[in-house]
């Protein structure tokens, strides 16, 4: 299962990952996530401002808007985004 230089191919690496049933042995210990991250309104406000307000959000795949004028409404927390095909 090795490539020319003894390295595994991408397909072989994907297959190994698919077959894996536990975390990798060299995975570092991760810190606990404070439970307030899930319900604290101040943290939510910061997250909305600094994460969702400054990044691209997935709205739709081109196949979901097959023709000009097709539309889809997508909701992200307090935002509702109309997504319209204009091509």
Q: Which two tokens stand for residue 72?
A: 């889809």
pLDDT at 8 over 70: yes
Instruction: Return the structure tokens found at 15.
Output: 């297959």
Q: pLDDT tens digit string along 9-43?
A: 999 999 999 999 998 889 999 899 889 888 999 99
Distance of CA 53 to the CA centre of its chain: 16
Q: Confidence band (pLDDT; 50, 70, 90) for 4?
A: low
pTM of the model: 0.41
Is residue 59 very low, low, confident or very high in pLDDT (cuts 50, 70, 90)? confident
47-67 CB burial, b ≥16 within 10 A, e <16: eeeeeeeeeeeeebeeeebee
């Amino acid at each position: 299962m090795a490539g020319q230089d003894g390295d595994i191919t991408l397909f072989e690496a994907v297959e190994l990952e698919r077959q894996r049933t536990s975390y990798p042995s060299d995975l570092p210990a991760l810190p606990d996530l404070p439970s307030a991250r899930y319900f604290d309104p101040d943290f939510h406000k910061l997250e909305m401002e600094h994460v969702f307000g400054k990044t691209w959000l997935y709205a739709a795949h081109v196949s979901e808007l097959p023709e000009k004028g097709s539309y889809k409404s997508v909701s992200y927390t307090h935002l509702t985004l109309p997504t319209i095909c204009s091509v």
